[in-house]
Structure 1
Amino acid sequence: MIERVVSQLPILVVVVPLLAVPAVVLAHRAAAAWALYLVATWLVFAMACVLFARVTAQGPIDYAVGGWAPPFGIELVIDAFNAVVLLLVAGIGAVSAVYARAGLAREVAAERLYLIYALMLACLAGLVGITITGDAFNLFVFLEISSLSSYALIAMGPKRRALLSAFQYLIMGTVGGTFLLIGVGLAYMMTGTLNMADLADRLPAVFDTRTVQAALAFIVVGLSLKAALFPAHVWLPNAYTYAPSAVTAFIAATSTKVAVYALIRFVFTVFGAGYAFDRLPLNQALLGLSAIAMIVASTAAIFQTDVKRLLAWSSIAQMGYIVSGFALASAAGLSAALAHIVNHGLIKGALFMAVGAMAWRARATSINDLAGLARTMPWTSAAFVVGGLSLIGVPATAGFVSKWALLSALIAAGHYVLAALVLIASLLAAIYIGKVIEALYFRPRDAEDTAHEGGEAPLTMQLATWGLIALNIAIGLYGAPELAATRRAASALLGAGA
C-alpha cells in the first residue's frame, strides 16, 4: 500500500496543491483557508523530500500520466537535477505558509485573504509542474499557471502602485510566454513531438535549419524574460517592491529560480550544450550579459531608498551569478549555478521575510523609516544581518559556499575577468547591505515615531524567517551534502546533453 502511494507521488505533488485551490476558495473564511493552505504546502514539501531521497538512492523517476507511454502521453520526470529545485520550491512554499497568516494580516483586507492563499497554492502548483514535467508544451502551461497567479498576487499589494506593477509584469510575462510558445511550436514543427527526451533525439537531424536556430532563440529570450535576466529585468523591481511582503518572499525565492532552471533544462537536455554553445555563440552572449547584470544591478541597488526595491535589484545581480555558472557548460560551473539557485532562494526568502516583519511593525519599508528599529526588533534585525552577510558571501554562510564554487569554476575555465567582477559585485553588495544595517543599528529613531513600539513581529513570522536563516548557516558550516547533490546533478545533466 505504501509503495503504491509512493509510486504516485510525481503526480500527487502537482495535483495536491491544484485540488487545494478550490477547497481554499470554498472554505472562504480566512482561518479555515489558511489551515488548508498550510496543510497542502507541507504535504507537497513532504512528498518532495521523499522524491529527492528516492532519486538520490535509486536514480531518475519516470511517470507516465494516465498510463500513456511517452512520447504520445505526458511524462513527468524527476532526476538528480530537478529534484534539488523541487525541494527548494516545496520548502519555500511550506515556510511561506507559516509566515503568511500574520504577514498578510496588515497588508490585505480580511475578506480577501482566502483568495491570496488560493493564488499562492496555484502559483506553487505551477512552479512544481514546471520543475518536473518532461513535456515542452506542458512546461508552458504550468508556466502560465504560475505567472497568472503571480500577476494577481502582486496586484493585491497594499499600495495603488501594485496594480501598475502587476500590469507591467503581465505585459512582460505575456511577451515571454509567447516567445516560449513560438519556440516550442517551431521545435514541434521540425520534429513532430513535444516530449523533451524525444525532442533531444530528433533535433540533431535538423540542427542545420534556420527553424531550429530560431526555436532556440525564442525559447532563450522567452525564459530570460520570465527569469528577469538582464536586460529583460524591467518588470522585477516594481513587482517585488509593491507586492505583499509574504508574496514577495515566496516569488523572489522561487519564481525566477524555476525559470532559469527551465532555461538550463532546454539548453542542456533538449538542444544540447554542443549545439547551443559550440555551434551557436549562446554562451558568449550569456557570459557578457551576466557580467553586466552583476555590476549594473549591484550599483543600482546602492542608490535605492526602499529596502524591498534594493533587494529586488540585488536579485537581478544574483541572476548574473547563476547564468555565468551554467554558461560555462562545465560540471563545476553547472554545480555552482545550481548551488546558487538553491542558496540564493534561501537567502532572498529570509531577507524579504525579515523586511516583511519590519514592515509589519513599522508599516513601511524605506531605509529612513526603519532607522533605529534594531532597538525594538533585535531578533528580526539580527536575521537581516545574517541574511545580508550570506548575500555578500561571508564565510560560514550559504552564500559563501556557492560563490566560492562559482569563483573556482570561473578560474578553472580561464575567465579571470569575470571572476574579478564577481568579487567586485560582492563588494558592492557589502555597500548596499551595509546601508540598511547602518540604519537599523546606528541611526537614531524618530522621537515622534510610535510605530516602532511593541517589540517583535508575531512568532510565526519570526520562526519562518529564522528557519531559513538557520539553513543558511547550516549550509555555510557544512556545505558538503549540498555540493555533492549539485555535482551529481551537473554530471547527469552533462551526460543527458552529450
Structure 2
Amino acid sequence: MSSQYPILVAIVPLMAAPICALLRGKTAPWAFTTITSACTFYISIQLLFSVASSGPISYELGGWAPPWGIEYVVDLLSGFMLVLISGISTGVLLYARESITKEVAPQQLGLFFTAYLLALTGMLGISITGDAFNVFVFLEIMSLSSYALIAMGERTDRRALTAAFQYLIIGTVGATFYLIGVGLIYLMTGTLNIADIAARLPEIEGTRPILAAAGFIVIGIGIKLALFPFHVWLPNSYTYAPNIVTAFFAGTATKVGVYLLIRFIFTVFGENYSFGELGLTDILLPLGVLAFLTMSSVAIYQTNIKRLLAYSSVAQMGYIILGISLASESGLTAAILHIFNHAIVKTGLFLSLGCMFFVVGSTYLKDLEGIGKRMPITTFGFVLGGFGLIGVPLTPGFISKWYLVVAALEKGSIIGYSLVALLMISSLLAVLYIWRVVEVAYFRDPPDSVVKREAPMSLLVPTWIFILGSFYFGIETSFNVGIAKVAAAFLMGGA
C-alpha cells in the first residue's frame, strides 16, 4: 500500500468529495471530511519520511513512463508542502464542527465540505504533480472550489458573493496566463513533463516564445499567490469568507502559489536563466519590498481585524518574494522557511479571531472593545500570534526574518544594507497594526451588559495547538530550518 501513497494523497480527498455531498446533518459531513483530511496528513508524513531517508519518489500513473505519461514526484520540498497543507487542513477541521454551523446553513454543510475536500485535492495535487498541464487541472479544481467556499459566507455577510465573483474574475485571468505560458512551452519543447521541459529548455531558452512563456507563467502564478500589485482579490476574499475558510486559505492557498513559483523558477527555467536573461531579481525584489512596506502600512488603518490580517498576509508574501529574488541559497532558505512559519502563525491568528466572532458575532474593532477582559484566553492567544508576525525572538517570524537579514547582508552592497533597514521598518509597522488590536482589547472597557465568556473548548484547543506550535517551531527549528536548508541547496543545484 505504501507504494501507492503518491497517488492516494490526492485521490483520497478527490473520491471522498462526492460521497460527502450525499451526507446530511451537522456532524456526518464534518466527521467524514476530518477523517479524510487526517488520512492525507498521515500519508503526507509517511511520504516526507520516505523522501528524507531514501530520496525523491517518482510515481507513474497508469504504468505510462514519463514523459509520455503523467508523473507524480515527491522530493523534499513537495513532501514538505504536502505535510503543511494536510496538517493545517486537519487542524482547521478540528475547529470547524461548531464554528461552521454559525456561518453556513445546515442544509448546505454537505456541499460546503465537498468544496473543502476539492480545494484540498487541488492544493495537494499541485504540490505533487510533475506535469505542467496537470498543474493547471489541479489549479482549477482548487480555484473553482475556493470560489464556492468564499461565496458561502453570504449567510453572515452578503459581500461574500461580491468577493467570490471578484476572485473568480481575477483568478481566471491568472489561470489563463499560466495556461498560455504552458502552451508556448509545449509548442517549443513538445513535452509537458516538468523534468523533461527543464532538460530541453537550455537549447531554446533564448527564443521569444520561451521568453513570453516565462512572462505569462510568472504573472499568472503571481496573481494566484496575491503578489503585489495583483493582490486585490485577497482582502475581500479573506474578510467575507467563513472563518475556517479564511484560516485554511491563509495557511495554504497562497503558499501553494509560492511553491509553484519556486518550482518554475528553480526547477523548470533554472536559476541562471531566471535571474540572468529574464532578470527576475529586478522585477521581484522591488515588488517584494513594496508589498511588505505598503501593505503593512495599509493594515494599520483597517477597522476590521480580518481585513487587517488579510493585508498583513500580502505583506508577508513580500518577505517570501524578497527571499526568492535574492537568488541565493540563504535567500531561498528564508523563503521556504517563511512559507511554513507564516502558515502556522497566520492560521492560529485567524482561528483566534474566529473564536471572537463565535462569541461576539463581529470582527470589527469597535465591537471588540475590552475583548481582552471578556475573552482573556482567546485574546492572549491572538497577541502571542501577533508576536510571530512582528518577529519577536522565540517565534518563527523571528527565525524567518533572521535568515532574510543574513541573505540580504550576503549581498554586501548598499542594496543589502538597505534591505535590512527596510525589514526593520516593516517589523515596526507590524508592531503598529498588532498594537491597534491590543489597545482595543486591553485598554478599553467592555460594554456594561456584556458577560465574560470564552469560546467552546472545541474551538480553543485547535487554536492553541497552532499558537503553541508556532512557538515550538520558533525554538526547536531542526524540522523547519533543516528541511528549508536542504531543499534550498537541492534547488540551487547542490547535493
TM-score (norm 2): 0.98
User: Which of 182, 185, 188 is residue 186 of structure 2 equivalent to?
Assistant: 188
**Cross-structure match for 2:273:** 275
Deviations 1:321-345 (A, max 9, x none): 0000011121111111000000000
Paired residues of 2:340 and 2:480 also in contact (CA < 8 A)? no
User: Which of 120, 140, 144 is residue 144 of structure 1 equivalent to?
Assistant: 140
Deviations 1:177-199 (A, max 9, x none): 00000000000000000000000
Paired residues of 2:20 and 2:33 also in contact (CA < 8 A)? yes
Change (3 A) 1:489 1:123: same
Corresponding position: 1:92 with 2:93: no
User: Which of 1, 8, 12 is residue 8 of structure 2 equivalent to?
Assistant: 12
The residue identity in structure 2 corresponding to 1:285 is I
Corresponding position: 1:133 with 2:134: no
Paired residues of 2:374 and 2:446 also in contact (CA < 8 A)? no
Deviations 1:204-251 (A, max 9, x none): 111111100000000000000000000000000000000000100001
**Cross-structure match for 1:325:** 323
**Cross-structure match for 1:437:** 438
Paired residues of 2:320 and 2:339 also in contact (CA < 8 A)? yes
**Cross-structure match for 2:398:** 400
Deviation of residue 407 (structure 1)?
A: 1.1
Paired residues of 2:26 and 2:101 also in contact (CA < 8 A)? no
Deviation of residue 437 (structure 1)?
A: 1.2
**Cross-structure match for 2:203:** 205
**Cross-structure match for 1:26:** 22
Deviation of residue 280 (structure 1)?
A: 1.7
Q: Distance in 2 between matches of 1:411 and 1:84?
A: 27
Q: How does 1:172-321 map to 2 (within 5 A)?
A: 172-321=170-319
Paired residues of 1:64 and 1:74 also in contact (CA < 8 A)? yes
Paired residues of 1:249 and 1:349 also in contact (CA < 8 A)? yes
Deviation of residue 29 (structure 1)?
A: 2.4
Paired residues of 2:123 and 2:256 also in contact (CA < 8 A)? yes
The residue identity in structure 2 corresponding to 1:440 is A
Q: How does 1:483-498 map to 2 (within 5 A)?
A: 483-495=481-493
Paired residues of 1:81 and 1:493 also in contact (CA < 8 A)? no
Task: Return 5+ residue gaps in structure 1 as ranges.
Answer: none
The residue identity in structure 2 corresponding to 1:442 is F
Deviation of residue 454 (structure 1)?
A: 5.7
Residue 495 of structure 1: SS of its match in structure 2?
Answer: coil
275-284 or 308-317, which moves further after superposition? 275-284
Deviations 1:450-479 (A, max 9, x none): 4xx361112121111111111111011111
The residue identity in structure 1 corresponding to 2:421 is A
Q: Distance in 2 between matches of 1:215 and 1:239?
A: 29
Paired residues of 1:287 and 1:327 also in contact (CA < 8 A)? yes
Residue 228 of structure 1: SS of its match in structure 2?
Answer: coil
Corresponding position: 1:419 with 2:423: no
**Cross-structure match for 1:53:** 49
The residue identity in structure 1 corresponding to 2:97 is R
The alignment covers a number of residue pairs equal to 490
Paired residues of 1:248 and 1:352 also in contact (CA < 8 A)? yes
User: Which of 97, 112, 115 is residue 116 of structure 1 equivalent to?
Assistant: 112
Residue 77 of structure 1: SS of its match in structure 2?
Answer: strand
**Cross-structure match for 1:65:** 61
Paired residues of 2:285 and 2:321 also in contact (CA < 8 A)? yes
35-44 or 22-31, which moves further after superposition? 22-31
Deviation of residue 413 (structure 1)?
A: 2.1
Q: Distance in 2 between matches of 1:110 and 1:387?
A: 31
Q: Distance in 2 between matches of 1:81 and 1:226?
A: 19
Deviations 1:416-466 (A, max 9, x none): 212211111111000000110111111111224x4xx36111212111111
457-466 or 193-202, which moves further after superposition? 457-466
Q: Distance in 2 between matches of 1:370 and 1:6?
A: 49
Paired residues of 2:132 and 2:192 also in contact (CA < 8 A)? yes
Residue 62 of structure 1: SS of its match in structure 2?
Answer: strand
Paired residues of 1:354 and 1:384 also in contact (CA < 8 A)? yes
Q: Distance in 1 between matches of 2:95 and 2:113?
A: 12
Deviation of residue 481 (structure 1)?
A: 2.8
Q: Distance in 2 between matches of 1:250 and 1:300?
A: 23
Deviation of residue 293 (structure 1)?
A: 0.7
Q: Distance in 2 between matches of 1:456 and 1:398?
A: 27
Paired residues of 1:81 and 1:492 also in contact (CA < 8 A)? no
Paired residues of 2:373 and 2:452 also in contact (CA < 8 A)? no
Deviation of residue 30 (structure 1)?
A: 2.5
Residue 208 of structure 1: SS of its match in structure 2?
Answer: coil
Q: Distance in 2 between matches of 1:482 and 1:142?
A: 26
TM-score (norm 1): 0.97
Q: Distance in 2 between matches of 1:326 and 1:53?
A: 26
Residue 305 of structure 1: SS of its match in structure 2?
Answer: coil
Spell out structure 1 runs of 4+ moving beyond 4 A: none
328-337 or 159-168, which moves further after superposition? 328-337
Task: Return 5+ residue gaps in structure 2 as ranges.
Answer: none
Q: Distance in 1 between matches of 2:142 and 2:457?
A: 29
Residue 27 of structure 1: SS of its match in structure 2?
Answer: coil
402-411 or 244-253, which moves further after superposition? 402-411
Paired residues of 1:70 and 1:195 also in contact (CA < 8 A)? yes
The residue identity in structure 1 corresponding to 2:441 is L
The residue identity in structure 2 corresponding to 1:12 is L
